[in-house]
C-alpha cells in the first residue's frame, strides 16, 4: 500500500476540495522535484515525455517556449512547470473554465494512478490497481493478484485497474480478447494506463485521455476498446496490421481525408484530441466490426 507521504499534496487531507482555481503547487512539492539539473549559473530541465501540446498555449496563459524539448533558466518554479507540463495544461484548462470540476478531478486521479478515496469508502466499490511499480490496492481475493499482474505485464500496460467486485471469468476473457486483438494487428504492447470502470457523469462508454496516457473502458460496453485503441494508435503514431498489410503513420492523413464524411464525431475537451483523431478512431473501429 502507498503511505500518505508518497501521495500528492492534495491527498494528505484525504479529499479533493473544489476550488475556483488551482496551481501546480497544490499537487507537487516543488523542492522535491529531482529532474532539475544545475548547469553553470542556471538550471536545466528536460520534459518527462513526448506530449501532444495544444495549439492554444497562449490562450491558456502558458509561455510558447514550453513547446521546446528542454528549458534553461534560473527560475526553479518555471522548471517544475516545464516538467509537469501535461498536468499544468489541464490545471489551466480548468482555471480558464474549459473543463468542468468533475472532469478535472477524474484527470487528476488518473494522472497520479490513484483511487478516488472519497468515492471508495465502501469496499464493494473499490478498484484493484496493479502497476509496473507496485500494488496500489489489493483485491479482496489476494490469489487473483498473480493473474492480474500477468495480464498487465503481457499486455504492456503501465497500470491495470479492475473493479474489486469484478466478474472473474468475464474480465479475464475480456483481457485475453484484448491480447489476441493487439497480437492480430501487430501492436505487441499497449504502453498505457488501462482502467476498467463505470464512466459516470460523462456520456461516454470509453475514453483515451491523451495527457494522462490513460485508456478507460466502461465494463458495460467492452467493444468500445477497439475505438479507444484507435485513438491510442493515432495519438502515438503507431504502425499496425490490417488485411495483411502494415499501416504506417504517414498513411494516417490519407485515411482521414477519405473518411471526412463521418457524421458521429463527438469531440471531448476532456480527452484533448482533435477531429482527425476521432475520424481515425471511428474508421479503425469500423475495420474490425
Model confidence over 211-246: pLDDT tens digits?
778 888 887 778 889 999 999 999 999 999 999 999
pLDDT at 112: 63
Q: Which residues touch 27 (CB under 8 Å, ≥6 apart)?
A: 8, 9, 10, 84, 87, 108, 112
Residue with grid cell 472532469, as numbered in its chain? 103
pTM beyond 0.75, yes or no? no
pLDDT winner (highest mean) among 57-61, 152-156, 237-241, 276-280: 237-241
For the chain, what percent of residues have pLDDT higher than 70?
72
Average pLDDT over residues 61-71: 88
Residue 139 has pLDDT above 80, yes or no: no
For the ranges 29-38, 89-98, 216-225, 257-266, the lowest mean pLDDT is seen at 257-266
Strands 240-242 and 245-247: antiparallel
* Of 237 and 2, the one with more pLDDT: 237
Residue 81 has pLDDT above 80, yes or no: yes
Report DSSP letters for 76-130, one per residue: HHHHHHHHTHHHHHHHHHHHTTSS-HHHHHHHHHHHTT---TTTT-SGGG-EEEE
pLDDT at 244: 92
Strands 193-196 and 214-217: parallel
Model confidence over 83-92: pLDDT tens digits?
888 888 989 9
Average pLDDT over residues 172-187: 91
pLDDT at 144: 66
In degrees rounded to 5, what are phi and psi of residue 184? -60, -40
As a whole number, the mean pLDDT across the chain is: 76
pLDDT at 116: 40
Amino acid at each position: 500500500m502507498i503511505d500518505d507521504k508518497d501521495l500528492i499534496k492534495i491527498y494528505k487531507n484525504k479529499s479533493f476540495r473544489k476550488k475556483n482555481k488551482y496551481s501546480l503547487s497544490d499537487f507537487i512539492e516543488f523542492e522535491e522535484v529531482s529532474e532539475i539539473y544545475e548547469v553553470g549559473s542556471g538550471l536545466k530541465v528536460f520534459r518527462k515525455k513526448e506530449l501532444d501540446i495544444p495549439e492554444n498555449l497562449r490562450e491558456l496563459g502558458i509561455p510558447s517556449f514550453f513547446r521546446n524539448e528542454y528549458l534553461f533558466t534560473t527560475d526553479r518554479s518555471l522548471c517544475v512547470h516545464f516538467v509537469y507540463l501535461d498536468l499544468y495544461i489541464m490545471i489551466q484548462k480548468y482555471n480558464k473554465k474549459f473543463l468542468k470540476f468533475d472532469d478535472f478531478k477524474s484527470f487528476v486521479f488518473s494522472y497520479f494512478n490513484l483511487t478516488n478515496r472519497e468515492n471508495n469508502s465502501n469496499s464493494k466499490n473499490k478498484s484493484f490497481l496493479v502497476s509496473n511499480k507496485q500494488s496500489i490496492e489489493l483485491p479482496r481475493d489476494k490469489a487473483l493478484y498473480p493473474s492480474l499482474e500477468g495480464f498487465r505485464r503481457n499486455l504492456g500496460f503501465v497500470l491495470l485497474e479492475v473493479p474489486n467486485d469484478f466478474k472473474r471469468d468475464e474480465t479475464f476473457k475480456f483481457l485475453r480478447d484484448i491480447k489476441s486483438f493487439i497480437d492480430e494487428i501487430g501492436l505487441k504492447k499497449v504502453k498505457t494506463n488501462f482502467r476498467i470502470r463505470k464512466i459516470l457523469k460523462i456520456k461516454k462508454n470509453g475514453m483515451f485521455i491523451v495527457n494522462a496516457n490513460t485508456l478507460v473502458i466502461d465494463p458495460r460496453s467492452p467493444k468500445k476498446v477497439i475505438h479507444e485503441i484507435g485513438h491510442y494508435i493515432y495519438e502515438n503514431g503507431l504502425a499496425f496490421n490490417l488485411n495483411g498489410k502494415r499501416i504506417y503513420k504517414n498513411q494516417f492523413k490519407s485515411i482521414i481525408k477519405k473518411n471526412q464524411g463521418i457524421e458521429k464525431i463527438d469531440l471531448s475537451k476532456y480527452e484533448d484530441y482533435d477531429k482527425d483523431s476521432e475520424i481515425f478512431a471511428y474508421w479503425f473501429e469500423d475495420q474490425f466490426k
